[in-house]
Amino acid sequence: MACFCSIQLLPFAKSLTLLSPISTLSSLPLRPIRSNFSPPPVSSLPSPFICRCTSATSPPPHSDGFIGFLDDDEEEAAAAEEEEEEDEEEFYEDDDLDLEALESEAKDAVRSYSTSLSRQLTIGNLPLRTRQIDLKGFKGKQKRRKGATKTIPDHLLPKVTIVGRPNVGKSALFNRLVGGNRAIVVDEPGVTRDRLYGRSFWGDHEFVVVDTGGVLNVSKSQANVMEDLAISTTIGMDGISLLSREAAVARMPSMIERQATAAVEEASVIIFLVDGQAGLTAADVEIADWLRKSYSSKYIVLAVKKCESPRKGVMQASEFWSLGFSPIPISALSGTGTGELLDLVCSGLKKTEDVENMDKEENYVPSIAIVGRPNVGKSSILNSLLGEDRTIVSPISGTTRDAIDTEFVGPDGQKFRLIDTAGIRRRASVASSGSTTEALSVNRAFRAIRRSDVVALVIEAMACITEQDTRIAERIEKEGKGCLIVVNKWDTIPNKNQQTATYYEQDVREKMRMLDWAPIVYYTAITGQSVEKVIVAASTIEKERARRLSTAILNQVIREAIAFKPPPRTRGGKRGRVYYCTQAAIRPPTFVFFVNDAKLFPETYRRYMEKQLRSDAGFAGTPIRLLWRSRRKVEKDEGKAATRTRSNLSPREGNVALTT
C-alpha cells in the first residue's frame, strides 16, 4: 500500500509543471508552445517530502502503485498529452515545413468552402452560380469566331435598339440576341421600363443590343395607363399623398418613352418589333410614323415576332407592309428567322476595328451594386453619380425591375460598373403579393449582389435600420462582398448638429453587427451632396478586397496575437497550436490556419483573431474568411479506421491481417 506522502506529492508535481517557463515563439513557420523544464527527482526534494513510513515501502513516483491513485480523467489527459508530444516530435522532425504542400492544401480548402457556400446560398430555390444562364431555347447560338477578343469597350461599339409597343416580346428577343436571361420576360405589359444593355456578336461584327420599355403614343386615360404598365399605387407608398401618386402615374409613360427615345438616338440600327399574332394595331402605326419622320436617317429593320411556323409567318408578316418597311418573320422562342434578322442588322453596321494602343489583357473593372429596400433612393443615387437620367426615378414603388448595368469613370480615371437593382422586400410579402414580376426582380437583385465586387447598401435616414435591412446585410456578408452603407436622404433629419452623425453611426453599428467593418457615407441624392465620397469609399474597398499580405507579415501578426492572448485550454489540459498561416485567396481575403486541432479554437477566439487581423493589417470595408485546418487529421482518421477494422476482426483474423 502506498503511503500518504506520495499522494501529497502529486499536486506539488503538477504545480511545478504549471510554473515551468514557456519558450517564446520561434521564427517562421510558427511552432507550438513547449516546455523544456522537467520537475526534479523525488530524491532531491527536501526531507519533509521523503517518505519515512516503516509499515510499507513507498513505490517510486512512476511505478504502477503511484499511477493507481490518478483519476480516470487525469489518466486520459496524461495519455493525450503524451500522444500530442509524440505527434509534435514526429511533425517537426525537419526544421522546415513543406510550404508548397501547405499552400496547395490551403487552395483546396478555399475551393471546398466556396462550393459548400454556393450550395447554401440559393435564389429562387436554385443554387446561384457566378454567372447562371438559362440556355433553354438558346441551343442554336453561334460560336465565337477564333481570335475574337473583348478588347473594344462597350461605349465604342455600335448599338442596336429594339423598340415597339408594350408586350410584343422585346425582352425575349433581347435575351435571344445576347445569349442569356438578362431581361425579365413575363406575359404582361410594362415589365421593362429602363434601358437594358447587352453585348452580342454575329460573324465578324460585334455590337451592343439595347432593350427598351414599351412606347405608348396612343392617348389613354390614367386607369388604362396603370393597367397597361402594371403600376401599383399602394405597395410602399404609405407616406405619399394621393395627389403625388396620381402625378407620378401620369408621368410614368413619358418617362418610359424618354428612355426609349434616348436609346433610339444613340443607335446605329433600330429593330422595330411588332406582334404577328395580334396583327397590326394603331400603336404600331403611330410608332412607325414616329420613326419614319424623326429617324429616317437611321437603318430600320421591321421584325414580325411570334411567327413560329415558317409558312404562316409569311402570311402574318404580309399584313405589315403598309407600315412602309420590309417585314421579316422571326420567333425569339424557337430562333426561327433570327439569322436573317442579324444579317440585315449587320449590313447596317460599320465594322469596328480593335482600338490601337490598348493592353492585350483587359483591365479588371469592379462592379458596384446598389441595393436596398423599395423607395430608399437607389435609382436617384445612380443618376446623381452619372449626372444624367439613366433610370426612371418615381415615388411609385417597384419602378426599377431589371438590374441595370452602366459603365462609370471615376474622378481618378478608375472604371466601374454600376448596377441599379429593384427594391428587395421580405420573402413573405413578395409571395403574398402574387406578382411574378416582383419575384423575378428580387432574384435579379440577389444575382447582382453575387456578381458584384462592392455592394452599396442604401438605407433611408428617417427610417433608420429595419429588419429587412439587416437581412440584406446578412446576405452581403455571406456572399463575401465588400460593403458600403449609404445613408440616403440625410437632409430629412431635423435639427442636425456635430454629434448627430456620431449617434446615428452608433445605432447603425448596434443593429448591423455583421457589418461593423463597413464604412458609412451620409448622402443626399437630390442635391448630389457627398457624391464623390461614395465612389472614393467604393474604390478604397475594392483595393482592400484585392490586397494580399505576404506570408512573413501575416505570420508576424499571428505570432503577436497569440503572444498577447494564447488559445484557451480545455478541461483536459489541451491547448490549440497554430503551425502555419497563409492567405490563399482574395476577393474576399481568405486566410487558412493550419493547427493541431480546429476544435480547440472556439468561436470567441476566432473572432479575436479576425479583429487582430483587421486592427494590424487593415481590410476595411471587406469581409475576411478564416478557415481552420487540422494538419494531421487525415493521418489520424486513417489510423483510427485501421484500428477499428482490427478490433472488429477475430483474434485469428487479426493476426492474419497484421501479418499481411
pLDDT given at position 652: 40
DSSP string, 115-169: HHHHHHSEETTEE--TT----TT-TTPPPPPTT----S-GGGS-EEEEE-STTSS
At residue 230, does pLDDT exceed 50?
no
Alpha carbons 476 and 481: distance in angstroms, whole number: 6
Work out the pLDDT band at 35, boundaries 50, 70, 90.
very low
Distant-in-sequence, close-in-space partners of 332: CB < 8 Å, separation ≥ 6: 169, 172, 173, 175, 176, 305, 338
Query: What pLDDT does residue 274 have?
Result: 94
Task: Provide, rounded to the nearest whole percent, the portion of the chain with pLDDT above 70.
Answer: 68
Residues 6+ apart with CB under 8 A from 514: 470, 473, 474, 477
d(CA 343, CA 202): 8
Do 24 and 85 touch, CB atoms closer than 8 A? Answer: no
Residue 528 has a pLDDT of: 77
The three grid cell numbers given for residue 645, joined into one nine-digit string:
477494422
Instruction: Give per-residue pLDDT as tens, 452-503.
Output: 999 999 999 988 788 999 999 999 999 999 999 999 999 999 988 889 999 9
Q: pLDDT value at position 221?
A: 44
* Average pLDDT score, the chain: 76
Residue 73 has pLDDT above 60, yes or no: no
Higher pLDDT, 452 or 115: 452
pLDDT band at residue 531 under the 50/70/90 scheme: confident
Please tell me the distance from the alpha carbon of residue 177 to that of residue 200, in angstroms, as a whole number: 6
Q: What is the pLDDT of residue 242?
A: 61
pLDDT at 118: 78
pLDDT at 560 over 50: yes
Report the alpha-carbon distance of residue 296 to residue 294 in Å, rounded: 6
What angle (nearest 5°) sits at the alpha carbon of residue 313, between those of residues 310 and 317? 145
Helix axes 222-229, 242-265, angle to 10 degrees: 60
Cβ neighbours of residue 144 closer than 8 Å, sequence gap 6 or more: 201
Residues 380, 395: Cα–Cα separation, whole Å: 11
CB 218 within 8 A of CB 282: yes
> Number of H helices and number of E strands within the chain?
20, 17
Average pLDDT over residues 507-513: 93
Per-residue pLDDT at 623: 95
- pLDDT reading at 438 higher than 70: yes
* Contact (Cβ atoms closer than 8 angstroms) between residue 635 and residue 560: no
Cell of 475: 446576405
Distances (CA, A) of 601 to 106, 294, 596: 18, 71, 10
**Cβ-contact 589, 624 below 8 angstroms:** yes
Instruction: Say if residue 309's pLDDT is above 50.
Output: yes
Pairwise CA distance, residues 199 & 462, whole Å: 40
Q: Which domains does the chain have, with CATH numbers?
A: 155-214+255-359 (3.40.50.300), 364-394+403-430+438-545 (3.40.50.300), 551-630 (3.30.300.20)
Cell numbers for 262, please give them: 434616348
- Which residues have a Cβ under 8 Å from the Cβ of 242 and sit 6 or more positions away? none
pLDDT digits (tens, 9 = 90+) for 174-211: 999 998 888 877 766 767 778 898 999 898 899 999 99
The upper half-sphere exposure of residue 578, i.e. CA atoms within 13 Å in the direction of its Cβ, equals 33
Kindly list the distances between the CA atom of residue 428 and the CA atoms of 126, 431, 446, 478, 479, in Å, as whole numbers in the listed order: 18, 5, 16, 21, 22
- Looking up cell 446560398 gives 121
User: 134-138, 278-282, 485-489, 545-549: lowest mean pLDDT where?
Assistant: 134-138
Mean pLDDT, residues 377-383: 91
Instruction: Report the C-alpha gap between 214 and 584 in whole angstroms.
Output: 49
* 49 Cβ neighbours under 8 A, 6+ residues apart: 5, 8, 9, 12, 42
Q: Would you state the pLDDT for residue 473?
A: 95
Predicted pLDDT of residue 151: 60
Residue 511, SS3 per DSSP: helix
Task: Please give the angle made by the CA atoms of 274, 275 and 281, to the nearest 5 degrees.
Answer: 75
Mean pLDDT of 280-289: 92
- Which element (helix H / strand E) includes 639? helix 633-648
Which of 311-320, 402-411, 477-486 is modeled with the greatest confidence?
477-486
The verdict on pTM exceeding 0.85 is no
Of the pLDDT bands very low, low, confident and very high (cuts 50, 70, 90), residue 216 is low
Position 43 pLDDT exceeds 50: no
**At residue 25, does pLDDT exceed 80?**
no
- List the beta bridge partners of residue 122: 127
In the block, cell 497554430 appears at: 578
Mean pLDDT, residues 232-258: 62
pLDDT above 90 for 40? no
- What integer pLDDT is reported at residue 239 of this predicted model? 53
Q: How many residues does the chain have?
A: 660
The residue ranking higher by pLDDT, 123 or 400, is: 400
State how far the alpha carbon of 117 is from the alpha carbons of 127, 131, 205, 475, 516, in Å: 10, 16, 39, 12, 22
Mean pLDDT of 110-128: 70
Of 269-273, 411-415, 559-563, give the lowest mean pLDDT range: 411-415
Determine the Cα–Cα distance for residues 464 and 36; give it in Å rounded to an integer: 58
Torsion sign across C-alpha atoms 418, 422, 427, 431: negative
Helices 338-347 and 170-178, interaxial angle, to 10°?
Answer: 80
C-alpha cell at 80: 493525450
Residue reference for cell 410594362 = 190
- Comparing 190 with 334, which gets the higher pLDDT? 334
pLDDT of amino acid 247: 65
- Which range among 41-45, 315-319, 344-348, 602-606 shows the weakest confidence by mean pLDDT? 41-45
